[in-house]
Amino acid sequence: AQSVSQHNHHVILSEAASLELGCNYSYGGTVNLFWYVQYPGQHLQLLLKYFSGDPLVKGIKGFEAEFIKSKFSFNLRKPSVQWSDTAEYFCAVTTNSGYSTLTFGKGTMLLVSP
Amino acid sequence: KAGVTQTPRYLIKTRGQQVTLSCSPISGHRSVSWYQQTPGQGLQFLFEYFSETQRNKGNFPGRFSGRQFSNSRSEMNVSTLELGDSALYLCASSGGGGTREKLFFGSGTQLSVL
């Protein structure tokens, strides 16, 4: 079965700082990778996803993520964070075997100070 | 288009009781998944239903059960509640439940067990 680990449980940044949230997965086969975000008081929503092709994917609100197959990683980045990016970020993975379900990491809480 | 609706929003129960949570997916969606979210464990998969059949089940005890109706609405039941069952229970829907599909999440039911 697949698993996901997120390196940082809490990250605190000042506005305009650059962001990189780490995500590693364990699975030997083909994976589909996702980042979901949960803003305070809101439901979880998809930020971006990677299935195949260009390993650098762009999502909403200026976020991007890079899939590095050799490192089993899918790190999330943003060049300049804003106060409104304060949220909890979840990395998740499915595989292409059968009815694979979405497996989440434990999440990273990002706090951006104005 | 209405989003995923979960009821009730908050629930307080005592140990030993049972509880039923409800989820109405987005119209036309046939797959409904349930997740338990806690601060320490993140999101853990409970089960997935597709066309009234349980297609996947996570690693939870038999006290956790669910079902799906012909209109795709789903219910989750927890019997003999324990303190550790206190959590936010999230429901997510998608069209066909494919491994590359985006999940649409509800706002969740916050269950407190006293």
Q: What is the CATH number of the domain that holds A40?
A: 2.60.40.10
Q: Does any CB of chain A come closer than 8 Å to the CB of residue B97?
A: yes
Average pLDDT of the residues in A76-91: 97
Q: Is the pLDDT of residue A98 over 90?
A: no
Number of domains in chain A: 1
Residue B99 · residue B109 · CB < 8 Å: no
Tens-place pLDDT, residues A57-68: 999 999 999 999
pLDDT at B52: 94
Report pLDDT for B40.
79
A19's torsion region: left (phi>0), alpha (psi -120 to 50) or beta?
Answer: beta
Q: Does the CB of A25 have a partner CB in chain B at under 8 Å?
A: no
Question: Which pLDDT belongs to residue A62?
Answer: 95
Strand intervals (E) in B14-81: 19-24, 31-38, 42-50, 53-57, 64-68, 74-78
Residue-level pLDDT at B95:
86
- Whether residue B62 lies within 8 A of chain A, CB to CB, comes out as no
Query: By the 8 A CB rule, do A109 and A85 touch?
Result: no
B53 touches chain A (CB under 8 A): no
Token pair of B107 as six digits? 């706002």
The domain containing residue A58 runs over which residues? 3-113
Q: Are A94 and A5 in contact (CB under 8 A)?
A: no
Predicted local confidence at residue B1, as pLDDT? 67
* pLDDT, tens digit, 9 for 90 and up, residues A27-47: 888 899 999 999 999 999 999
Of B45, B90, B100, the CB nearest to A32: B100
A100–B99 CB contact, under 8 Å: yes
User: Which pLDDT value is given to residue B69?
Assistant: 97
CB A99 within 8 A of CB A88: no
For A58, counting Cβ atoms within 10 Å of its Cβ (0-12 exposed, 13-18 middle, 19+ buried), the class is: exposed
* Averaged pLDDT, groups of 10, chain B, 114 residues long: 92 97 95 93 92 92 96 97 97 84 93 97
Question: What is the rounded distance in angstroms from the CA atom of residue B108 to the CA atom of residue A87?
Answer: 17
- Closest alpha carbon within chain A to B37: A106
Give the confidence band of A96 by pLDDT, cuts at 50, 70, 90.
Answer: confident
Question: 């229970």: which residue's tokens?
Answer: B89
CA distances from A74 to A55, A107, B51, B73 (A): 9, 14, 33, 34
